[in-house]
């Protein structure tokens, strides 16, 4: 027995000693002098729908055709679960060389030291940013390190179907429309056509916009608590959702789960069974093959008329700090950002390209949806104020708390006041861990 | 045997014994013992896998008991699941075993049909089927609307019924318990029933006074295994409901997984893991101690 | 009396058949839906006869897989993990079971107690440290990480086999010993051939437990090229990677085929194994 105990203890000791060195991964930097033409396999991941996967894969082939020594291993997926997977890969030291990154998550990954600082590659002109607006570039700078290269910009938009509005006897919405106008329109669409007024309201992107109408951001500047103090902000929002759902002008959460399971191209606004949807400005471009007639308008404003939109970096490319191919990754990103041929294929599906030269080169061949999107960019900028800082770490949990508390109210389990308070408590607890 | 041979044999037995259990022992060390020790250590730290763990004492536990509603919710959901599923499944298995405990034609076929669900039930494929059948636009809703009941929310989308879709999946797999009961039923000597019949005992009296008591050892065995396994349920809730709606199917292990691999709170989830071990341990002890009250062991032949 | 018996028989068969149909319906639904085209799966959901047959489309598009990885790769990964894990695991378990049941060695009671304890510990407790251990060994995303937890034997199979061996009369061992066999030979010549039923049962259980395991692949695998079938099916659920419901259901059917085939072939052994496993004190 004694023997077993001491064996046990030494095993535990050994184990803990071995594991105590669980520190951040020691990423290899670019010390290795690699032959420029040695074969390199770049692993790359991004989120999107099938159309994005298709053209991006084509792009990878194009690049390999130009640089035969570079090949790619692509592992794209949908948005849902994308960052769970990325986190798992970060934890397992198996992060892809190139990752599509989102503004909501870039803080988390930068602060965890899993992303490479790309400043050296900008300085030595491997990546050419001379045609990109500096403000936009800076959105990818966290704590002084450039960990994300912005690919495109976008902003929130209501994408609507003029046909459905016409069928309901409504004039098309304008930038001046208020939430009261919006509700009226949605209810009328339901009454006159029997279909949904709005495919969905995506709380996760809409609620930050809603909060900004009150002059503040959803998260406090230091990222340790909620940015708004008066729960009425939350209560007004969820009450509106309830009114729309009770009138069946919007699907309930269960119905929406079923709808969204069929993919973006099958959403009601695309198939003519809803008047509008709230999404990013490139939504119409994404679904243009299924429905080329959708139009964009800025989201409604509240009675104070506060401009609450913001010019959002739609997505970044980041490079894993552990990547052994950082130079080649940087070269690829540069090509992606600046090459006119590449951007013809991309066709602004990821948003408005950041390089002014690219925008100019595309102008001649834009489809109607793309023209609309480019025009919308100008309109939304004139309705925008300064963007919020990137979301703090813990945003995944806060998002879940938002959805849970809102659904709890919509299912009738809690009152609006209770849900608002619950959301505040939960969020502050989650963000409080960032202190 | 000479003393020398005995001694040699004894020493020999030790070596042979350890050689034979060596594979298991190695696995036990690297897959159980060391991880358990590390896990205990982590439960007292704040650790997100990307930077070094930070010792925080009992903070994880105070957070769990006093600040984390999801912990209590997942406990409630898991307990509800265990207390609904296990009795239902055992009762069902018992009744069907009683039904099949006779010489009929096609018995083997029926037995196979009832047992197949147990084999495939744990798979992702079957969970996907359940999600389709009970979801929006699924079989359940269509069948109900034929009878004239129009539901706004599917069984899976409704916080009150979602857990029952998962429980139904568990009950569907009663086959393995049924087989065990069948075998046990065959072992009850017919003579006892005959004697009781002569004494005037009716069918149900016989069942309750003879059959069930005779089966209690087997019931006990099934109970322990099924309770332990029910506490570990994960795949169904992950695939069918993702813990929703409104956390109504947030099984404890799903919550643990989420805290570990979605929110990267490895320290906290380690603490949660040990609480689960404690709970399972307590239940097992309670069940074992209760044996004397209700389990009839026939004296060994 | 005759009529009574006949009607009892009728009621019996009727109720068992009805119950059987209800039990088998989900599986029938799965197979028939895998033959339907995508929209019919929802519109005509409960009918078991497809209006439009799309077998080839569903199965071939499903087989193409996700993200450039064919379903064949997924199946192959599952095969490797299940076969190696089963062979190694059952072997390790049987060896250990023989030792516990027949060999008096120092500490055997203690180690057997440990075996029983592992039955109670959910492996979710260990999954975080296991993840870190595998990461240090560079085995994340490597099929070895899925095989190792099984290949050293499992408490359930050890227990099953121990009970089985205990049921064999000790006189067999003693006779062999008198004949001059040592412990190892007793095992290979006498005991092992007699525990074949337990071995078969363990093998079958082990195979389909590993085949259907979802949790471990979920944690340890991040590259779709190394996904097993259970993890791959989960990919099919993501509407932005795939909204090919027909394909998903078709591949679900394919994933269940090996399990069902093995069940059909070894039904008798399985049933006996399950039944006797419960009959110990």
ipTM of the complex: 0.86
Mean pLDDT on C230-246: 78
What pLDDT shows up at residue A418?
A: 94
Which of A89, A261, A264 has the CB atom closest to C222's CB atom?
Answer: A89
Which DSSP letter does residue A266 get?
A: G
Helix (H), strand (E), coil (C) string for B174-228: CHHHHHHHHHHHHCCCHHHHHHHHHCCCCHHHHHHHHHHHHHHHHHHHHHHHHHH
- Chain B residue with minimal CA distance to C212? B123
| Contact partners, residue C45, CB within 8 Å, separation at least 6 | B132, B133, B137, B138, B139, B142, C33
Task: Give which of A429, A362, A376 is closest to A398, Cα–Cα.
Answer: A429
d(CA A186, CA A206): 17
Q: Please indicate, yes or no, whether residues A116 and A192 belong to a single structural domain of this protein.
A: no
Instruction: Compute φ and ψ for A46, nearest 5 degrees.
Output: -155, 165
Residues C37-85 have pLDDT tens digits of 877 777 777 778 877 888 888 888 888 887 678 899 999 999 999 999 9
Q: Please indicate, yes or no, whether residues B210 and B147 belong to a single structural domain of this protein.
A: yes
Check B39 against C129: CB less than 8 A apart: yes
Q: Which two tokens stand for residue A393?
A: 């770490």
What pLDDT shows up at residue C267?
A: 80
Q: Please indicate, yes or no, whether residues A304 and A319 belong to a single structural domain of this protein.
A: no
Q: Is residue B167 part of a domain?
A: yes
Q: Is A364 strand, coil or helix? A: coil
Q: Which two tokens stand for residue A340?
A: 């006119």
Closest Cα in chain B, distance from residue C79 (Å): 15
Judge whether A408 is closer than 8 Å to chain B, CB to CB.
yes
Task: Give which of A206, A81, B120, A368 is closest to C212, Cα–Cα.
Answer: B120
Q: Please indicate, yes or no, whether residues A307 and A328 belong to a single structural domain of this protein.
A: no
d(CA C277, CA C281): 10
Check C240 against A49: CB less than 8 A apart: yes
Q: Is residue B52 part of a domain?
A: no
Q: Is residue A272 part of a domain?
A: yes
Mean pLDDT on C130-154: 87
A81 backbone φψ class: left, alpha, beta (φ>0; ψ -120 to 50): left
Q: Which residues of A touch B47 (CB under 8 A)?
A: 22
Query: How many beta carbons lie within 10 A of that of residue A190, not counting itself?
Result: 21
Q: Is residue B23 part of a domain?
A: yes
Q: Is A289 strand, coil or helix? A: coil
Judge whether A1 is closer than 8 Å to chain C, CB to CB.
yes
**Percent of chain C, pLDDT > 70?**
94
Q: Is A186 strand, coil or helix? A: helix
Q: Please indicate, yes or no, whether residues B76 and B145 belong to a single structural domain of this protein.
A: yes
Task: Give which of B255, B126, B210, C133 is closest to A404, Cα–Cα.
Answer: B255
Check C208 against B119: CB less than 8 A apart: yes
Q: Please indicate, yes or no, whether residues A281 and A424 belong to a single structural domain of this protein.
A: yes
Q: Is A96 strand, coil or helix? A: coil
**Ranges A291-295, B148-152, C34-38, most confident:** A291-295
User: In CATH, what number is assigned to the domain containing residue B188?
Assistant: 1.10.3720.10
Residue pair A298/A309 in contact by the 8 Å Cβ criterion: yes
CA dihedral A128, A133, A136, A138 (to 10 degrees): 70
- Residue C159 pLDDT greater than 90, yes or no: no
A282 backbone φψ class: left, alpha, beta (φ>0; ψ -120 to 50): alpha
Residue pair A78/A46 in contact by the 8 Å Cβ criterion: no
d(CA B265, CA B258): 9
Q: Is residue B50 part of a domain?
A: no
Q: Which two tokens stand for residue A232?
A: 């009425």
Q: Please indicate, yes or no, whether residues A268 and A189 belong to a single structural domain of this protein.
A: yes
Which of A22, A75, A79 has the CB atom closest to C132's CB atom?
Answer: A22
Q: Is residue A380 part of a domain?
A: no
Domain that holds residue A131: 40-152+313-374
Q: Please indicate, yes or no, whether residues B250 and B129 belong to a single structural domain of this protein.
A: yes
- Chain A residue with minimal CA distance to B159? A411
Q: Please indicate, yes or no, whether residues B120 and B13 belong to a single structural domain of this protein.
A: no
What pLDDT shows up at residue B5?
A: 52
Check A11 against B34: CB less than 8 A apart: yes
- Around C115, how many Cα atoms within 13 Å sit in the side-chain half-sphere? 29
Q: Please indicate, yes or no, whether residues B12 and B121 belong to a single structural domain of this protein.
A: no
- Chain B residue with minimal CA distance to C153? B24
Q: Which residues of B touch A23 (CB under 8 A)?
A: 51-52
Q: Please indicate, yes or no, whether residues A260 and A282 belong to a single structural domain of this protein.
A: yes
What pLDDT shows up at residue B3?
A: 54
Judge whether B28 is closer than 8 Å to chain A, CB to CB.
no
Q: Which other chains touch chain A, taking contact as 3+ CB pairs less than 8 Å apart? A: B, C
Check C131 against A92: CB less than 8 A apart: yes
Q: Please indicate, yes or no, whether residues A220 and A341 belong to a single structural domain of this protein.
A: no
Of A29 and B62, more confident: B62
Least confident of A377-391, B198-212, C233-247, C260-274: C233-247
Q: Which other chains touch chain C, taking contact as 3+ CB pairs less than 8 Å apart? A: A, B
Query: What does chain C look like in DSSP terms, one character per residue?
Result: -HHHHHHHHHHHHHHHHHHHHHHHHHHHHHHHHTTB-HHHHHHTTT-SS-SSB-HHHHHHHHHH-BTTB-HHHHHHHHHHHHHHHHHHHHHHHHHHHHHHHH---TTHHHHHHHHHHHHHS-HHHHHHHHHHHHHHTT-TTSTHHHHHHHHT--HHHHHHHHHHHHTS-HHHHHHHHHTT--HHHIIIIIIHHHTHHHHHHHHHHHHHHHHH--HHHHHH--SGGG--HHHHHHHHT-TTT---HHHHHHHHHHHHHHHHHHHHHTHHHHHHHHHHHT---
Domains defined for chain C, CATH in brackets? 2-55 (no CATH), 65-243 (1.10.3720.10)
Q: How far apart are the first and last CA of chain B?
A: 32
Q: Is residue B300 part of a domain?
A: no
Query: How many beta carbons lie within 10 A of that of residue C125, not counting itself?
Result: 27
Closest Cα in chain B, distance from residue A93 (Å): 9
Q: Which residues of A touch B48 (CB under 8 A)?
A: 112
Judge whether A253 is closer than 8 Å to chain B, CB to CB.
yes
Task: Give which of A260, A209, A259, A214 is closest to A233, Cα–Cα.
Answer: A214
User: What pTM, to 2 d.p., does this model score?
Assistant: 0.83
Residue pair B87/B298 in contact by the 8 Å Cβ criterion: no
State how many domains chain B has: 2
Judge whether B21 is closer than 8 Å to chain C, CB to CB.
yes
Instruction: Compute φ and ψ for B135, nearest 5 degrees.
Output: -85, -175
What pLDDT shows up at residue C280?
A: 44
What pLDDT shows up at residue A116?
A: 93
Residue pair C158/C93 in contact by the 8 Å Cβ criterion: yes
Q: Please indicate, yes or no, whether residues B194 and B164 belong to a single structural domain of this protein.
A: yes
Residue pair A45/A17 in contact by the 8 Å Cβ criterion: no
Residue B201 CB-density burial (10 A; 0-12 exposed, 13-18 middle, 19+ buried):
middle
- Residue B298 pLDDT greater than 80, yes or no: no
Residue pair C108/B16 in contact by the 8 Å Cβ criterion: no
Q: Which residue has the tokens 């940015």?
A: A227
Which of C100, C103, C122 has the CB atom closest to B253's CB atom?
Answer: C122
What pLDDT shows up at residue A60?
A: 94
Closest Cα in chain C, distance from residue B148 (Å): 16
Query: What does A33-52 look like in DSSP terms, one character per residue?
Result: ---TTS-EEEEEE-B--HHH
Query: What does A136-174 look like in DSSP terms, one character per residue?
Result: HHHTTEETTEE--EEEEEE-EEEEE-HHHHHHTT-PPP-
Q: Which residues of B touch C130 (CB under 8 A)?
A: 31, 35
d(CA C240, CA B75): 33
Which of C110, C132, C243 has the CB atom closest to A4's CB atom?
Answer: C110
Q: Is residue A33 part of a domain?
A: no
State how many domains chain A has: 2
Residue pair C136/B49 in contact by the 8 Å Cβ criterion: no
Judge whether A11 is closer than 8 Å to chain B, CB to CB.
yes
d(CA C9, CA B227): 36
Q: Please indicate, yes or no, whether residues A393 and A363 belong to a single structural domain of this protein.
A: no
For residue C59, list its beta bridge partners: none
Q: Which residues 195-254 of B are in CB contact (within 8 Å) with C?
A: 217-218, 221-222, 228, 231-232, 234-235, 238-239, 253
Q: Which residues of C touch A261 (CB under 8 A)?
A: 239, 243
Check C29 against B25: CB less than 8 A apart: no
Q: Which residues of C touch A320 (CB under 8 A)?
A: none
Judge whether A266 is closer than 8 Å to chain B, CB to CB.
no
Q: Please indicate, yes or no, whether residues B176 and B246 belong to a single structural domain of this protein.
A: yes
Instruction: Compute φ and ψ for A318, nearest 5 degrees.
Output: -120, 160
- Chain B residue with minimal CA distance to C211? B123
Domain that holds residue B32: 1-42
Can you say whether the dihedral through the CA atoms of A421, A424, A428, A431 is positive or negative?
Answer: positive
Q: Please indicate, yes or no, whether residues B10 and B123 belong to a single structural domain of this protein.
A: no
Q: Please indicate, yes or no, whether residues A60 and A207 belong to a single structural domain of this protein.
A: no
Q: Please indicate, yes or no, whether residues B136 and B181 belong to a single structural domain of this protein.
A: yes
Q: Is residue B158 part of a domain?
A: yes
Q: Please indicate, yes or no, whether residues A146 and A160 belong to a single structural domain of this protein.
A: no
Q: Please indicate, yes or no, whether residues A276 and A403 belong to a single structural domain of this protein.
A: yes
Check A74 against C136: CB less than 8 A apart: no
With cut-offs at 50, 70 and 90, classify the pLDDT of residue B41.
very high
Residue pair C278/B218 in contact by the 8 Å Cβ criterion: yes
Q: Which residues of B touch A90 (CB under 8 A)?
A: 49-50
Closest Cα in chain B, distance from residue A364 (Å): 44
Q: Please indicate, yes or no, whether residues B106 and B19 belong to a single structural domain of this protein.
A: no
Q: Is residue B51 part of a domain?
A: no
Distances (CA, A) of C41 to A192, B153, C66, C275: 30, 19, 21, 38
Do the strands B45-46 and A149-154 form a parallel or antiparallel pair, or are they unpaired?
A: unpaired
Residue pair C29/C40 in contact by the 8 Å Cβ criterion: no
A266 prior amide bond cis, ω within 30 = no
Give percent helix, percent strand, percent coil of chain B, each to the nearest 5.
75, 0, 25
With cut-offs at 50, 70 and 90, classify the pLDDT of residue B16.
confident
Judge whether B247 is closer than 8 Å to chain A, CB to CB.
yes
Q: Which residues of C touch A91 (CB under 8 A)?
A: 131, 135
Which of C135, C224, C243 has the CB atom closest to A93's CB atom?
Answer: C135
Q: What is the mean pLDDT of chain C?
A: 84
- Chain A residue with minimal CA distance to C139? A92
Distances (CA, A) of C277 to A378, B179, C269, C272: 73, 10, 12, 8
Check B153 against A254: CB less than 8 A apart: yes
Q: Please indicate, yes or no, whether residues A106 and A193 belong to a single structural domain of this protein.
A: no
Residues of chain A with pLDDT under 50: 1-33
């Amino acid at each position: 027995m004694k023997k077993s105990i001491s064996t046990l203890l030494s095993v535990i000791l050994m184990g803990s000693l071995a594991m105590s060195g669980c520190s951040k991964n020691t990423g290899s930097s670019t010390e290795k002098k690699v032959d420029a033409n040695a074969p390199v396999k770049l692993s790359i991941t991004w989120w999107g729908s099938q159309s994005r996967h298709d053209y991006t894969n084509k792009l990878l082939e194009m690049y390999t055709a130009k640089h035969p020594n570079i090949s790619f291993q692509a592992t794209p997926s949908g948005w849902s679960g994308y960052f769970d997977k990325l986190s798992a890969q970060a934890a397992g030291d198996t992060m892809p060389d190139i990752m599509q990154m989102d503004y909501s998550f870039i803080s988390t990954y930068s602060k965890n030291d899993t992303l490479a600082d790309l400043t050296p590659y900008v300085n030595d002109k491997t990546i050419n940013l001379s045609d990109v607006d500096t403000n936009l570039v800076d959105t990818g700078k966290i704590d002084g390190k450039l960990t994300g290269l912005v690919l495109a910009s976008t902003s929130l938009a209501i994408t609507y179907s003029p046909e459905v509005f016409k069928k309901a006897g409504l004039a098309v919405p304008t930038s001046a429309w208020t939430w009261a106008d919006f509700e009226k329109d949605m209810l009328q669409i339901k009454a006159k056509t029997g279909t949904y007024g709005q495919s969905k309201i995506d709380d996760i992107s809409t609620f930050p916009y809603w909060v900004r109408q009150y002059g503040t951001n959803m998260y406090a500047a230091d990222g340790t608590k909620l940015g708004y103090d008066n729960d009425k902000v939350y209560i007004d929002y969820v009450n509106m959702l309830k009114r729309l759902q009770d009138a069946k002008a919007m699907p309930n959460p269960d119905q929406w789960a079923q709808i969204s399971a069929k993919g973006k191209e099958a959403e009601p606004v695309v198939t003519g069974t809803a008047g509008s949807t709230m999404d990013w400005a490139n939504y119409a471009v994404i679904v243009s093959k299924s429905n080329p007639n959708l139009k964009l308008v800025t989201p409604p404003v509240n009675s104070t008329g506060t401009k609450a939109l913001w010019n959002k970096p739609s997505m970044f490319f980041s490079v894993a700090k552990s990547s052994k191919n950082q130079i080649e990754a940087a070269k690829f990103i540069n090509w992606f950002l600046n090459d006119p041929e590449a951007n013809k294929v991309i066709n602004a599906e990821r948003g408005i390209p950041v390089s002014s030269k690219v925008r100019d080169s595309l102008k001649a061949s834009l489809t109607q949806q793309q023209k609309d999107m480019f025009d919308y960019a100008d309109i939304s900028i004139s309705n925008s104020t300064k963007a919020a800082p990137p979301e703090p770490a813990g945003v995944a949990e806060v998002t879940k708390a938002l959805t849970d508390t809102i659904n709890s109210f919509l299912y009738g389990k809690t009152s609006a006041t209770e849900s608002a308070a619950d959301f505040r408590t939960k969020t502050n607890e989650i963000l409080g861990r960032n202190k | 045997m000479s003393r020398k041979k005995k001694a040699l044999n004894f020493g020999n037995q030790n070596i042979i014994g350890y050689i034979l259990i060596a594979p298991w022992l190695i696995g036990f060390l690297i897959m159980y013992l060391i991880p358990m020790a590390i896990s205990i250590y982590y439960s007292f730290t704040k650790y997100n896998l990307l930077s070094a763990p930070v010792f925080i004492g009992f903070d994880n536990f105070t957070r769990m008991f006093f600040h984390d509603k999801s912990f209590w919710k997942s406990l409630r959901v898991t307990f509800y699941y265990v207390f609904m599923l296990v009795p239902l499944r055992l009762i069902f298995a018992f009744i069907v075993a009683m039904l099949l405990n006779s010489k009929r034609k096609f018995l083997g076929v029926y037995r196979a049909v009832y047992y197949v669900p147990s084999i495939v039930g744990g798979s992702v494929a079957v969970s996907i089927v359940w999600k389709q059948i009970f979801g929006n636009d699924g079989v359940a809703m269509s069948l109900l609307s034929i009878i004239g009941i129009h539901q706004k929310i599917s069984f899976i989308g409704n916080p009150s019924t979602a857990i029952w879709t998962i429980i139904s999946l568990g009950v569907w797999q009663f086959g393995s318990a049924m087989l065990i009961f069948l075998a046990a039923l065959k072992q009850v000597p017919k003579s006892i029933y005959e004697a009781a019949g002569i004494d005037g005992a009716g069918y149900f009296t016989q069942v309750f006074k003879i059959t069930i008591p005779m089966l209690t050892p087997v019931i006990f065995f099934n109970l322990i295994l099924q309770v332990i396994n029910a506490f570990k349920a994960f795949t169904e809730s992950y695939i069918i409901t993702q813990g929703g709606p409104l956390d109504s199917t947030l099984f404890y292990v799903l919550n643990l997984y989420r805290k570990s691999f979605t929110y990267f709170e490895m320290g906290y989830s380690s603490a949660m893991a040990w609480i689960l071990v404690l709970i399972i341990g307590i239940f097992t002890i309670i069940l074992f101690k209760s044996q004397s009250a209700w389990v009839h062991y026939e004296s060994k032949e | 009396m005759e009529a009574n018996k006949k009607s009892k028989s009728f009621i019996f068969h009727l109720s068992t058949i009805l119950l059987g149909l209800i039990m088998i319906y989900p599986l029938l639904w799965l197979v028939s839906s895998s033959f339907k085209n995508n929209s019919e799966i929802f519109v005509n959901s409960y009918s078991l006869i497809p209006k439009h047959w799309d077998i080839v489309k569903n199965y071939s598009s499903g087989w193409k897989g996700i993200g450039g990885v064919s379903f064949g790769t997924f199946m192959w990964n599952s095969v490797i993990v299940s076969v190696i894990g089963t062979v190694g695991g059952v072997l390790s378990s049987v060896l250990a079971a023989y030792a516990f049941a027949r060999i008096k060695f120092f500490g055997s009671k203690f180690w057997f107690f440990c075996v029983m304890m592992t039955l109670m510990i959910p492996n979710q407790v260990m999954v975080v440290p296991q993840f870190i251990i595998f990461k240090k060994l560079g085995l994340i995303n490597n099929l070895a990480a899925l095989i190792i937890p099984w290949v050293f034997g499992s408490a359930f199979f050890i227990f099953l086999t121990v009970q089985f061996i205990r049921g064999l009369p000790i006189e067999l061992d003693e006779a062999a010993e008198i004949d001059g066999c040592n412990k190892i030979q007793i095992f290979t010549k006498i005991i092992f051939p007699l525990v074949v039923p337990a071995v078969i049962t363990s093998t079958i259980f082990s195979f389909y437990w590993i085949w259907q395991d979802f949790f471990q692949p979920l944690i340890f695998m991040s590259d779709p090229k190394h996904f097993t079938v259970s993890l791959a099916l989960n990919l099919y659920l993501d509407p932005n990677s795939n909204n090919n419901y027909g394909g998903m259901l078709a591949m679900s059917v394919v994933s269940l085929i090996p399990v069902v085939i093995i069940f059909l072939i070894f039904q008798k052994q399985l049933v006996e194994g399950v039944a006797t496993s419960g009959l110990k004190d």
